[in-house]
Chain A
Amino acid sequence: MALLQIAEPGQSPQPHQRRLAVGIDLGTTNSLVAAVRSGLSEPLADAAGQVILPSAVRYHADRIEVGEVARAAASGDPLNTVLSVKRLMGRGLADVKQLGEQLPYRFVGGESHMPFIETVQGPKSPVEVSADILKVLRQRAEATLGGELVGAVITVPAYFDDSQRQATKDAARLAGLNVLRLLNEPTAAAVAYGLDQHAEGVVAIYDLGGGTFDISVLRLTGGVFEVLATGGDSALGGDDFDYVIAAWVVQQAGVSADLDPGQQRLLLQAACAAKEALTNSALVTLSYAGWQGELSREQLDALIEPMVARSLKACRRAVRDAGIELDEVEAVVMVGGSTRVPRVRQAVAELFCREPLADIDPDQVVAIGAAIQADALAGNKRGDGEELLLLDVIPLSLGLETMGGLMEKVIPRNTTIPVARAQDFTTYKDGQTAMMIHVLQGERELISDCRSLARFELRGIPPMVAGAAKIRVTFQVDADGLLSVAALELASGVEASIQVKPSYGLTDGEIARMLQDSFKNAGDDKVARVLREQQVDAQRLLEAVEAALLADGERLLDADERMAIDAQMQQLRDCMAASDGLAIEQHTKRLTQITDAFAARRLDATVKASLAGRSLDEIEE
C-alpha cells in the first residue's frame, strides 16, 4: 500500500472489517497458532480440541503426517520421522555433526551447505520440514477463523542469529504465509504478560524451551515494550536434559552407547518421561532394554546443573548489558515447557531473589503474545485503544573481517533495531582495485570464533596509493533482525550491496524448486490465486489513497499533483473491472510511484505534528 494510513484515534478506515492475522510459535518440541478473537488472544485448537501441535513430521512415500501421530511413530520409523527440527535451522552440516551423534537421521548435502535429511520422500531440508509444520497450523487457522490470512507473526528465539532467522522466514514463505514480522519469543511473552497484568517497569523473561534458551530484560512503559538487553544460547534446552539422562542410563545399564536410531528414540523418550515425572515426584523408576533403575530428583538436579548454571550466567550478562543491577528487576516471567523443572525455577528464584511468575501457561504465552502483535500489524485497532510498540535489539554483534583475521564490530549486541551504521575502510596495497567484504556475527575477536554470514567483493575501485581509497560499508538491520550490507567507494561511487544470504541458507534455486513443488501438491489454481491477490492489493491501495486524499489532499498537494493521482486511480479501477491481472499490477505500481512524494510529505507532517501537539500540551500545563 502506498500511503500512510493515519487514522484519527478511535477511528478506523474500515471499522467493520477485521483482518485475519495469527501468531505462530514454531517451537522445538511443540508448535501453536493463536489469534485475537473478540478482543481476546487465545490459541486455536484442532478438530480434536488440541491446541498443542507436536513439532514432529513423518514422511511416507505419498503423504506427510504432522503432530502427535508422527511423534508416536518416531521410534518405529526414526529415519523418516523428524523431531526437534528447529535445532537444525540455519545450521551447516558441520554444526549439525557437532550437535552430536545423537541425531538419528541420515544427512545428505544439498546444493547449498544446508544439511538435508534423507527420507522415503527424498531429501528434506530443515526449512521444508518446518514449512510442513507451519502448513498444518495455517490450515487450522484458516478453518477456525473462516478466511484467508493477511499474514502471520512467527516467533524465533531472541538469540537466533541471522542464518536461523532467514531460514525461519524461508519456511514461512514455503508454507504460503505472509510474514508480517519475525518476533523474538521473550518479547512476545512480555507482550502477553504485560498486557494481561498491566505491568510497568523492568521485567526479565526467562525462556527455556525444548532446544533454545533466551533471557530478555525489558522496560514496560504504557504499551511500549523496550528490550534493554537479551542473551541466551540457541543450543540449550530441555532436549539437552533428556540427553544427559539418556547418557546416565547408558552408563548405569552398562550398555554400548552405540545405539541404532530406533533404540536411541526409545531411550530419549524414556529419559523425557522420567524428567517430566520428576516435576511432581521425588523418585522415578526407569527401564530400558532390560535394565531397570531409579532416578531421584537430586540426581536429576546434579545432572542438569551445568546447563542451569550456563543459563544463569547468561542472565547475569543480560542484566549487566541492560545497565542495571539484579535487584532492579521487578518481575521474572517463566516461559517454555522446560521451566517446569523444579531445579530451574528454584535457581532462577535464587538469582533474582524473587519468586518467578508463571500466570500464563508457559507453553502458550509466546503464541498468545505473537497473536496480539499480528493483530496490531494487520491494522486492527485494539479494544482498549492502547497502541503497542515493540522496540527490540540484536542479540549478537555484527562486524567485518579486518587484517589479521580479526573481527571489527560495526554494530554491538543489544543495539535497538532498526539500525543502520556505516564504517569506513581503506585499501592496504598500492593500486588495489578490489576488496573482500566478509560479514560476521558474534562476540569473539578472532573471526574463526564468529559465525560467517556472508562474503562479497567490491570491485572496480580506481587504482590509488594504499590508504587513499575510502570504502564505506553500511550495515542495516531491519525490524525482523535481518541484515543487509552495502559497500561504496566514496571517490569513484563504485558500489556493491547484498541482502545477506546466510552461508547455511537455501539457495534461490532450492527455494524456487520447493515453491514449485508446493504449488503442484496444493493443486491450487495459481493464476486465479494471483489475480485475487492483485485485486485485493489494488483495492487496499485505492482505499488508502482515498483516505489520505480526504485527510491531507488539500493541504499537501497542488492541483496538478492531485489531478495526476485522480487519473491514475481511475485507470486502476478500470483494469480491476476488466480483471486484467497484468494491467492491475502495472497500474498499482504506477499509483504507488506517483503517490510516493505525497506519502513522504505526510510522514514528515505526522512527525512534526506529534512534536507540535506535545509542546502545546506542555505550554498549557
Chain B
Amino acid sequence: MGTPCHFALFDLQPGFRLDPELLASRYRELARHVHPDRFADASEREQRLALEQSASLNEAYRTLKNAPHRARYLLALSGPELPLEVTVQDPSFLLQQMQWREELEDLHDSADLAGVAQFKRRLKVAQDELNESFAVCWDDALRREEAERLMRRMQFLDKLSHEVRQLEERLDD
C-alpha cells in the first residue's frame, strides 16, 4: 500500500501492546477493499495490483498478529536488522530451554497425551508472562538490549509450541 510500516497500514501506533480484536477488524475492513474478489472482472493489471496489495496486507497482518513476530518487527523498525538465527548469550534462559526440551522428549517417549495438554497450558502461561515482560521493557528506550534478549526467548517458545503441535500430530497416528 506504499506505506513503509505495518502499523501505519492498520492505522495503529507502533507498539507491542495492541488490541487483537481491533487489529482483526481493521484487517477485515482493509481486506474488503483490496481482495482480488473485488476485481474478479477487472483488467489483468488491476487484478495483479489487487493480488500484490492483498498479499502484502496478509503479510503485515501475519506479522503483527503473532507476538514474537511483532516484537521482532518492532526491533527491526527502530534499529539495525536482526539476523534470524544467532548465538545469544542468555545463560539463565539456556537452562530453562534445556528443561523444556527434555520434558518434550519425555512426553514423546511416553506418548502421554494428558501430559502434553498440561505442557501446553504451562507453555501458554510462560508465553503470556514473557509477552508482558517484553511490553514493559519495550516502553523503556534504554532497555533495548534486554528487549532483544526477550524477543529471542519469545521466538524459542513459539518454535516450541510448534513442536508441541507436531508431537500431538505424531501421537495421533
Contacts and interface: CB of A to CB of B under 8 A. Distances in A.
A and B associate: yes
A606 interface: yes
A596 B59 CA distance: 25
B40 A181 contact: yes
Given A378-B40, A604-B2, A610-B29, A1 B46 contact: yes
A592 interface: yes
Nearest to A388: B37
B130 interface: no
Interface in A212-266: 221, 224, 226
B42 interface: yes
Interface in A303-334: 313, 316-317, 320-321
Interface in A69-114: none
B75 interface: no
A390 B59 contact: no
A420 B52 contact: yes
B165 interface: yes
A537 to B, nearest CB: 10
Q: Which of A317, A540, A606, A610 lies at the interface centre, i.e. has the most chain B CB atoms within 10 A of its CB?
A: A610
Given A418-B51, A419-B58, A419-B59, A316 B172 contact: yes
A551 B32 CA distance: 20
A281 B133 CA distance: 62
A5 B31 CA distance: 16
B153 to A, nearest CB: 20
A376 B37 contact: yes
B41 A2 contact: no
A232 to B, nearest CB: 15
A378 B43 CA distance: 14
B62 interface: yes
Interface size band for B: 35 or more
Contacts of A513: none
Contacts of A415: 58, 62
A387 B46 CA distance: 20
Interface in A575-621: 592, 596, 599-600, 603-604, 606-607, 610-611, 614-615
Contact of A320 (B36, B40, B51, B169): B169
A600 B2 CA distance: 11
B152 interface: no
What is the size category of the interface that chain A forms with chain B? Answer: 35 or more
Contacts of B127: none
A480 to B, nearest CB: 9
A479 interface: yes
Contacts of B35: 389, 391, 479
A391 B62 CA distance: 13
A373 B37 CA distance: 9
A318 B39 CA distance: 30
A1 B41 contact: yes
Contacts of B33: 603, 606-607, 610
Nearest to A373: B37
A478 B51 contact: yes
Contacts of A150: 41
A2 B48 CA distance: 12
Contact of A615 (B1, B11, B53, B165): B11
A181 B39 CA distance: 11
Given A389-B35, A421-B59, A610 B30 contact: yes
A377 interface: yes
Contacts of B62: 415-416
B56 interface: yes
Contacts of A5: 42
Nearest to B164: A320
A317 B51 CA distance: 29
B158 interface: no
Interface in B96-118: none
A379 B31 contact: no
Contacts of A224: 28, 31-32
Contact of A377 (B2, B37, B50, B58): B37
Contacts of B42: 1-2, 4-5
Given A1-B42, A378-B40, A479 B51 contact: yes
Contacts of A156: none
Nearest to B46: A599
B11 A603 contact: no
B18 to A, nearest CB: 15
A119 interface: no
B59 A420 contact: yes
A339 interface: no
Contacts of A1: 41-43, 46
Interface in B123-173: 165, 168-169, 172-173
Interface of A: 1-5, 150-151, 180-181, 221, 224, 226, 313, 316-317, 320-321, 373, 376-379, 387-391, 415-421, 476, 478-479, 540-541, 592, 596, 599-600, 603-604, 606-607, 610-611, 614-615
Given A389-B28, A596-B45, A607-B1, 10 more contacts: A1-B42, A2-B46, A320-B165, A373-B37, A418-B51, A418-B55, A592-B45, A599-B43, A611-B26, A614-B29
Interface of B: 1-2, 11, 26, 28-37, 39-43, 45-46, 49-56, 58-59, 61-62, 165, 168-169, 172-173
13 contacts: A4-B42, A224-B32, A313-B172, A317-B169, A418-B36, A418-B58, A420-B59, A421-B59, A592-B43, A596-B45, A600-B49, A614-B26, A614-B29
